[in-house]
Structure 1
Amino acid sequence: MQVLRAFQRSAHLSKSNVRRFSLPAHGTADGALVNRLLQRGTPEYDDLWNKSASGDMYSLNLTHRHACDIELLLNGAFSPLEGFMTSEQYNKVVRDMRLPDGTIWPIPICLDISEEQALDIERKGVEQILLRDGEYNPIAVLDVSDIYKPNKSLEAQSVFNGDPEHPAIVFLNQHTKNMYIGGKLYGFQLPPHYDHKDLRKTLYLSSHCTETPEEVRNSFAERGWNKVVAFQTRNPMHRAHFELTKRALELEPGMNLLVHPVVGMTKPGDIDHHTRVKCYREIMPKYPKSRADLVVFPLAMRMAGPREAIWHCIIRKNYGLTHFILGRDHAGPGSNSKKELGIKCLAFEQMLYSPQDDEYYPQDKVPKGKEVLQLSGTEVRRRLRTGEEIPEWFSFKEVVTILREQHPPRHKQGFTLLFTGLSGSGKSTIANALREKLMEIQGRRVAMLDGDYVRKLISSELGFSAEHRNLNIRRIGFISSLISNAGGVVIAAPIAPYKESRDFCRQVCSEVGGYVEIFVSTDLDTCKVRDRKGLYAAFEQGKIKKSFACCFLTGLDDPYEVPQKPEITIDTAKVSVEDAVKRIIEFLLKEGYLTRDMVQHEEHLKELTGL
């Protein structure tokens, strides 16, 4: 053993040449896990570290998805991959779900860069690139093997079935840069984490470090866990999930369970992983003693249907799992691919609750004549939003308590009201009146972000190009999200002429609280007549000049993109300020952002709503 350890210390890469758990890694020639982490103290580590620390090495900053991917590349969870995909690997995977050597692999794992970065790398003849995380920690060095332009249309169609609304296709088209760069990785460290260290670094019941697949395998071997089934989830676990996993434990003698939730990137709108992990912790003691455990892992999910299911099987095989649970929405691989994967997939039907028996049954095994109950995820989220009861047959009370604490009903959340419309349409007037009324009738703090003040105090360096206007509104959205996340009410009243930046505001604010878009639709002629700031008159007299060939005044020489689905539309040429405020208050009451109990005096309620 001492000779083996000495050999491993002297190796260029700390590869696992001796397996303590019998299941071989996926696709490697010797069955060993890939491990691209260099060992500290070796000449190779020191040489590469010194080069990267000199400041002369070309560097790139990793996005959140890149950081998730690189961690699983470096620690062997993505075995047999040794780095980000080259064009040969990418094209083969997209078209055939296989690597060039024929090994099944369904998902492209790519490092995207801009066209400008690609030209810069090629022009400078860069051979190695230092990859840093969001905190500029040096994570790994990439050997540049290939720079190429991906076929995004083919990737969207082949991997994600082409639906333009699919989250992964939206990400591909809107957030992924136009060039990919591939090559082997040489790792200095895994991206650091500061949350749930006991679950990232130790198994729930063990003192051993088990973040990497090798360490998970070693823990299984030490426990004598020869059969282990994995349950993946990106949602909180409720009674149905618990009953399903208990049934998996009972399928074969000696079966054990690893709850293996994703804490990297999931579907937009999912409950955050901190809340989910708190729920999982409450459930774990309910399993049979010493037969179940909890480990989190930082996968960036792609929601790729059958390809995603195959990918998850491969990853669990690399972690040393012998079985994997495929749920009703977890599209499964075909029989041929199961044989190639070397891991047994367990297909389970949706679990339904019978109140007569106080028991859960698989959908295809419900006794004839039995009434069954279920709640959809949408209904659960609605009940959380409104504060309605979530029954104990659906979820454990400990889980519901956590969900209610972390996701309170709307009347206890912060929210943002974004007014948008032409200059002179009446946005600021209504916004100021609404702020005064909200401060009068309810207890939450109300912050006002007027477009003119934001321009002077926060965006004073910006001009009026489309790029700068979008950036100004994005700043408003970001600030609003921070206030809303802290439980405050935000009223923002910029012009916000472009859909792009308004959509950004909706996205970031909706992730942390409520969001209401109010379109003040007053027509241009009315705005010109009002013209309190004198902008329209000054423009028509030629006193406002264009700067850097950029348009200046929205509605005249710069377009206003009319909102298509605002929550509220108000035309101040037809509605008084008082009536506009009433309409907004009525909406807030209807949608649960305000409650009748919150309104301080009954006369206020009558005054505001006419009820």
Structure 2
Amino acid sequence: MATVAGVLRVLSVSSNNATALSPRSPKFSSSSPSGSAAAAFVSLRGAQSPGNLLERSSFQMGQSNISLMGQTTRKSVAPIKASALITPDGGVLVDLIVPGHEKVQKLEEARSLPQVNITKIDLEWVHVLSEGWASPLRGFMRESEYLQSLHFNALRALEGSLVNMSIPIVLAIDDVQKESIGKGKAISLVGPAGNTVAILRNIEIYKHNKEERIARTWGTTAPGLPYVEEHIRNSGNWLVGGDLEVLERVRYNDGLDHYRLSPAELRAEFERRGADAVFAFQLRNPVHNGHALLMTDTRKRLLEMGFKNPVLLLHPLGGYTKADDVPLEWRMKQHDKVLEEGVLDPQTTVVAIFPSPMHYAGPTEVQWHAKARINAGADFYIVGRDPAGMGHPTEDRDLYNADHGKMVLSMAPGLERLNILPFKVAAYDKTKGKMAFFEPKRADDFLFISGTKMRNYARNGENLPDGFMCPGGWQVLVEYYQSLSKEQDAGKKEELQQQVVSKAVKNPVPV
């Protein structure tokens, strides 16, 4: 039978009677008022839940990339001091960046090893692994880890502990690269810019069954899945896993590196601010006042629960995104305006970039997003409608059920310590002239402004209703979409000119 502490991980921010649901909360006890809500969630974490089924599994890993407390070397982990923050998965925060005094020696060694050229997305995964976002994983997955991630959405260490890992973090190589590696036990990874990025040791090469990977991760093999088309479809037929040693911190030199705080740096910042709770909000879109209402209301609820200083981690995704998403640099400009204009309180908000690539894999991917924030120190995670979702690539419908993301998070193996905060729907209240939580009984008073409508307003330089978004943030979006329109118009003009020239060459005018 699941305990109350194991059951009550879902806090509805829509409730006016929100109580402490976390075993870490200062008000929590088995006899607290929150106990009356237990029945509502027992079915989500009952004896036959996926988490409990996995806990009874006797499967053991072979050679493993997983590090656990007391089982890692001094250089591979960052020790966690006693604090109010949640501990990382495995008890330690993995740090795979080579110490400065060893870099020259490691670089010299790397030059003597077989080289594998990696893509920009591969580099983003190196970044993720190197800083401990995937703790306790210590490198690209070997086959046993890959299969556990693919089929169980979790990894189990030899001593039996379970951590969530719903997205396989793997490195593909082709036949030529496999042949060049031969029987070698280590390889060097060369980044898109031609620089040596890392050494991968104690490697294992195994078959890359793309169809199985795509089907298990996305639930479909339909053509048009953005990450698949960008990174998997034409990748190599083999995967190589091993222990990663990253020669230096990954930098992009795009003017945004100061936002790319590692989990260790985020934890230090939360400690500096005296946070006793951290609630994370991920987005890949601009922040409007509905988002802000949700975040400020969440902090209010946490204060009512007895926390003294909850801190918001506003954590936009900064890795690969599909072509029609607003680019990262423009999103960060917009987020800056949200803080500058006081929509969110800079004293209780930390804005940072999450370096992971985006899969658009719905309920499967949202587990990864939540798990990574545990390692950054967050013990509350806000989940919205259709998290990490997208439209079906070949049919006129959503790819995933909009409610399944939050339901899956409440059941996911290895996420029992994380408190899930379901999104409450916000819309523009025409009677109040601002964003407010939607009330079905007066639905006619509310206006839902879609992303398409917002883009059209921005392209035309029109203003949205007052109160939908802070003026400075909206102006950033207007500038972006108008610059995009100019680029598209210039492209069409150039294409037309080329067609005219081509036609003139084929059909010269007689003199």
Q: Which category of TM-score, normalised to the shorter sequence, fits these structures?
A: 0.7 to 0.9
Counting aligned pairs with the same residue, the percent is 25
TM-score, normalization: structure 2?
Answer: 0.73
1:347 aligns with 2:422: yes
Who is 1:121 aligned against? 181
1:294 aligns with 2:351: yes
Q: Is the 8 A contact 2:85 2:277 kept in 1?
A: no
1:15 to 58, 77, 84: 77
1:40 aligns with 2:100: yes
Taking the TM superposition and a 5 Å limit, the aligned residue runs for 1:197-236 are 197=256, 199-200=258-259, 211-236=261-286
Q: Is the 8 A contact 1:24 1:32 kept in 2?
A: no
Hey, what's the Cα distance between the residues in 2 that align with 1:80 and 1:218? Answer: 19
Who is 1:328 aligned against? 385
> Measured at CA, do residues 294 and 490 of structure 1 come closer, stay the same or move farther in structure 2, by a change above 3 Å?
farther
Q: Give the match's secondary structure for 1:110.
A: coil
Who is 1:58 aligned against? 114
Hey, what's the Cα distance between the residues in 2 that align with 1:289 and 1:385? Answer: 30
Taking the TM superposition and a 5 Å limit, the aligned residue runs for 1:231-270 are 231-253=281-303, 254-270=309-325
Shift of 1:307: 1.4
Residues 362-393 of structure 1 show CA distances to partners (whole Å, capped at 9, x for unaligned) of 33x45536510121001112223344443333
Q: Is the 8 A contact 2:140 2:243 kept in 1?
A: yes
What amino acid is aligned across from residue 74 of structure 1 in structure 2?
A: S
Q: Is the 8 A contact 2:339 2:346 kept in 1?
A: no
Q: Give the match's secondary structure for 1:77.
A: coil
What amino acid is aligned across from residue 81 of structure 2 in structure 1?
A: R
Taking the TM superposition and a 5 Å limit, the aligned residue runs for 1:346-495 are 346-363=421-438, 365-366=439-440, 368=442, 371-408=445-482, 412-415=486-489, 447=494, 491=498
1:191 aligns with 2:250: yes
> Measured at CA, do residues 267 and 154 of structure 1 come closer, stay the same or move farther in structure 2, by a change above 3 Å?
same
Who is 2:138 aligned against? 82
Q: Is the 8 A contact 2:251 2:257 kept in 1?
A: no
2:374 to 317, 321, 345: 317
1:177 to 233, 236, 239: 236
Q: Is the 8 A contact 1:261 1:296 kept in 2?
A: yes
For the pair shown, the structure with the greater C-alpha radius of gyration is 1
> Measured at CA, do residues 325 and 493 of structure 1 come closer, stay the same or move farther in structure 2, by a change above 3 Å?
farther
Who is 2:28 aligned against? none
Shift of 1:23: 4.0
> Measured at CA, do residues 215 and 173 of structure 1 come closer, stay the same or move farther in structure 2, by a change above 3 Å?
closer
Hey, what's the Cα distance between the residues in 2 that align with 1:369 and 1:377? Answer: 20
What amino acid is aligned across from residue 92 of structure 2 in structure 1?
A: A
> Measured at CA, do residues 246 and 50 of structure 1 come closer, stay the same or move farther in structure 2, by a change above 3 Å?
same
The alignment of Structure 1 onto Structure 2 pairs a total of residues equal to 405
Hey, what's the Cα distance between the residues in 1 that align with 2:272 and 2:355? Answer: 24
> Measured at CA, do residues 293 and 12 of structure 1 come closer, stay the same or move farther in structure 2, by a change above 3 Å?
closer
1:133 to 191, 196, 202: 191
Shift of 1:214: 1.0
Shift of 1:118: 1.2
1:158 aligns with 2:216: yes
Q: Give the match's secondary structure for 1:140.
A: strand
Q: Is the 8 A contact 2:316 2:354 kept in 1?
A: yes
Hey, what's the Cα distance between the residues in 2 that align with 1:64 and 1:107? Answer: 18
Who is 1:576 aligned against? none
Residues 20-44 of structure 1 show CA distances to partners (whole Å, capped at 9, x for unaligned) of 544455442xx011111121225xx
Q: Is the 8 A contact 1:129 1:144 kept in 2?
A: no
Q: Is the 8 A contact 2:209 2:237 kept in 1?
A: no
Shift of 1:195: 3.0
Q: Is the 8 A contact 2:97 2:245 kept in 1?
A: yes
What amino acid is aligned across from residue 347 of structure 1 in structure 2?
A: P
Taking the TM superposition and a 5 Å limit, the aligned residue runs for 1:563-602 are none
Which residues of structure 2 form unaligned runs of 5+?
A: 1-72, 304-308, 388-404
What amino acid is aligned across from residue 393 of structure 1 in structure 2?
A: G
1:99 aligns with 2:174: no
Hey, what's the Cα distance between the residues in 1 that align with 2:243 and 2:199? Answer: 8
> Measured at CA, do residues 111 and 338 of structure 1 come closer, stay the same or move farther in structure 2, by a change above 3 Å?
closer
Shift of 1:181: 0.8
Shift of 1:447: 4.5
Hey, what's the Cα distance between the residues in 2 that align with 1:218 and 1:491? Answer: 56
Q: Is the 8 A contact 1:113 1:177 kept in 2?
A: yes
Hey, what's the Cα distance between the residues in 1 that align with 2:87 and 2:365? Answer: 18
> Measured at CA, do residues 256 and 120 of structure 1 come closer, stay the same or move farther in structure 2, by a change above 3 Å?
same
What amino acid is aligned across from residue 281 of structure 1 in structure 2?
A: D
RMSD: 2.7
What amino acid is aligned across from residue 426 of structure 2 in structure 1?
A: M
Q: Give the match's secondary structure for 1:252.
A: helix
What amino acid is aligned across from residue 136 of structure 1 in structure 2?
A: G
Residues 447-493 of structure 1 show CA distances to partners (whole Å, capped at 9, x for unaligned) of 47xxxxxxxxxxxxxxxxxxxxxxxxxxxxxxxxxxxxxxxx86357
Q: Give the match's secondary structure for 2:331.
A: helix
Who is 1:111 aligned against? 171
Hey, what's the Cα distance between the residues in 2 that align with 1:231 and 1:176? Answer: 32
Shift of 1:106: 0.3
> Measured at CA, do residues 231 and 169 of structure 1 come closer, stay the same or move farther in structure 2, by a change above 3 Å?
same
What amino acid is aligned across from residue 229 of structure 2 in structure 1?
A: V
Q: Give the match's secondary structure for 1:242.
A: helix
Shift of 1:62: 2.2
> Measured at CA, do residues 250 and 175 of structure 1 come closer, stay the same or move farther in structure 2, by a change above 3 Å?
farther
Residues 317-373 of structure 1 show CA distances to partners (whole Å, capped at 9, x for unaligned) of 00001111101121223433277341111101321121112343333x455365101
Residues 96-140 of structure 1 show CA distances to partners (whole Å, capped at 9, x for unaligned) of 212253432100101111122112212xx3222111222223221
Residues 268-306 of structure 1 show CA distances to partners (whole Å, capped at 9, x for unaligned) of 310111111000000013123511121112110111111
Residues 549-580 of structure 1 show CA distances to partners (whole Å, capped at 9, x for unaligned) of xxxxxxxxxxxxxxxxxxxxxxxxxxxxxxxx
Q: Give the match's secondary structure for 1:141.
A: strand
> Measured at CA, do residues 327 and 334 of structure 1 come closer, stay the same or move farther in structure 2, by a change above 3 Å?
closer
TM-score, normalization: structure 1?
Answer: 0.61
